[in-house]
Amino acid sequence: MASRALQLTLVRQRTTIVRSLASSAKSDSQIAPFPKPSTTPANQLQFDKVTHTGQAWDKEDYRLARFERAPKQVNPNIAMHLIAEQPPKGCEENVVWCDGGHAALGHPRVYINLDKPGNHACGYCGLRYYNLHVHQDGTEHNSA
């Protein structure tokens, strides 16, 4: 019973302290919000390197504190750009499979249907394939 009374007393003291702090604090309109990178114009982001996720922070962003002692290191080889440089692979079959080089690397074997014209990309690695016998209008080329 005594412990319950002690808990209630502590809760009342905490709520009193929180209320007094809240009343003495500035109103929400006077508190400046943290700057968000999405609201910063692109021309002000030139000092910061853009990461593979498109992040670039403005000069006033509080997250730049982690880079005070060491510079921000960004890998310029973004995987999306590297895979886009690979030309599509022409295939004789209507269905091909892609395992990204080796299944042990985490890429399962994916079967890709090439019956429709155009490039067909693997959903895991982005490699593109096309059927050599299907024309752009959708008709098949008969070699007989």
Per-domain boundaries in the chain? 33-75, 79-131
Dig out the tokens for 18 from the structure. 């929180």
Residue 30: its pLDDT value, please?
A: 58
How large is the average pLDDT for residues 112-136? 89
User: Which of the residue ranges 92-96, 105-109, 115-119, 139-143 would you say has the lowest mean pLDDT?
Assistant: 139-143
Residue 72: its pLDDT value, please?
A: 81
Q: What's the pTM?
A: 0.52
Q: Of 75 and 116, which is predicted with more confidence?
A: 116
With a cut of 70, say whether residue 26 has pLDDT above it: no
User: Which of the residue ranges 56-70, 74-88, 128-142 would you say has the lowest mean pLDDT?
Assistant: 128-142
Dig out the tokens for 88 from the structure. 């599509």
How large is the average pLDDT for residues 15-41? 59
Rounded-to-integer distance, Cα 36 and Cα 62, Å: 10
Which of the four pLDDT bands, split at 50, 70 and 90, describes residue 88?
very high
- % of the chain at pLDDT higher than 90: 20
CATH architecture of 79-131: Sandwich (2.60)
Q: Please name the residues in contact with 77: beta carbons below 8 A apart, sequence gap of 6 or more.
A: none
How large is the average pLDDT for residues 44-63? 72
Residue 97 pairs in a beta bridge with 111
How large is the average pLDDT for residues 12-21? 67
Residue 91: its pLDDT value, please?
A: 92
Alpha carbons within 13 angstroms on the beta-carbon side of residue 74 total: 13
